[in-house]
Amino acid sequence: MAVGIFDSGLGGLTVLGAVTPRLPETPFVYLGDNAHTPYGVRDADDIFALTCTGVERLWLEGCDLVILACNTASAAALRRMQESWVPEGKRVLGVFVPLIEALTERQWGDNSPPREVAVKHVALFATPATVSSRAFQRELAFRAIGVDVEAQPCAGVVDAIEQGDMQLAEALVHSHVEALLRRMPRPEAAVLGCTHYPLVEDAFREALGPNVAVYSQPDLVAASLDDYLNRRPEMVGPGRDSLFLTTGEPVNVSRKATQFLRRQISFRPA
């Protein structure tokens, strides 16, 4: 009955922290590919290969459903995986769609044609690979028309978070927000398009100011996953145990994860 959560490193723990209380009876197996983080500076083929390897490892733990709690993997690899790689009986879902549905005020699973929405100017903050993929704009176009998106690649932020240098991460956030505001001075909404970014969400909010609505993913993904499993209970796999796995050095990853989430977390080698 386990569900897998895959991330390039520690960012997906923000999603795990939201889904665990929402689905307290569901075991989750988390896999962080810390040996290869960050994904945001890699090319699409490299991201696809690494993501497939990680998802296969989670299938071995009995996770028939895997959530890509990594926007870069969702942007660069998910569509290709779903179209040509995921076998029957397995599911791999991304984290963009719940975010966009909240932004456009559509119900989960609403597949009606795109329509005008209230928000017209959206700032997207994401990794360079996510920005270059234009996956956010593509998914948004399925649901809304007339929305101007200004995307800012936030180089260095994930690295700083993974290294535990939150002071540098926050300084980089302010720099990236300033760069975007020079191009879009009055965004109505800002999308934090990386699951690492909730760890520096306060810095984004401070830099953007009180008049910008900030959309962050963990709670939105948790609500969507809860709804999905209510509709598709057969996708809860045969796994029974909650685990934390990493391709990196477990002691070091455990220390950083415990620091970020403020509770004890122990990773095992993947």
Q: Rounded to the nearest 10 degrees, what angle do helices 250-261 and 13-22 cross at?
A: 60
Q: Of these residues, 52, 63, 70, 154, which one is catalytic?
A: 70
Give the pLDDT of residue 247: 98
pLDDT in tens, 211-264: 999 998 999 999 989 988 988 888 888 888 899 999 999 999 999 898 877 789
CA–CA separation, 266 and 32 (whole Å) = 12
pLDDT in tens, 18-33: 999 999 999 999 999 9
Mean predicted lDDT score pLDDT of the chain: 92
Q: Is 123 helix (H, G, I), strand (E, B) or coil?
A: strand
Find the distance separating the first CA and the last CA of the chain, reported in whole Å.
Answer: 20
> Residue 94: CA atoms inside 13 Å, Cβ hemisphere, count?
25
pLDDT mean over 94-113: 81
Least confident of 62-66, 72-76, 95-99, 121-125: 95-99
DSSP-assigned states of every residue in 191-215:
EE-STTGGGGHHHHHHHH-TTSEEE
Helix ranges (DSSP H) in 232-270: 250-261
Give the pLDDT of residue 109: 65
Amino acid at 257: A
CA–CA separation, 168 and 189 (whole Å) = 24
The single residue listed with the structure tokens 């998910």 is 78
Give the pLDDT of residue 108: 60
Domains of the chain: 3-94+218-269 (3.40.50.1860), 97-215 (3.40.50.1860)
Q: Which residue pairs from 207-212 have beta carbons closer than 8 angstroms and sit at least 24 positions apart in sequence?
A: 207/173, 207/174, 207/177, 207/178, 208/123, 208/177, 208/181, 212/123, 212/187, 212/188
User: Any catalytic annotation for residue 70?
Assistant: yes
pLDDT in tens, 158-176: 999 888 899 999 999 999 9
Tokens representing 188 are 């109505």
The single residue listed with the structure tokens 């070091």 is 252
User: Any catalytic annotation for residue 52?
Assistant: no
pLDDT in tens, 188-224: 999 999 999 999 999 999 999 999 999 989 999 999 8
pLDDT mean over 72-95: 93
Q: Of these residues, 52, 63, 154, 194, which one is catalytic?
A: 194
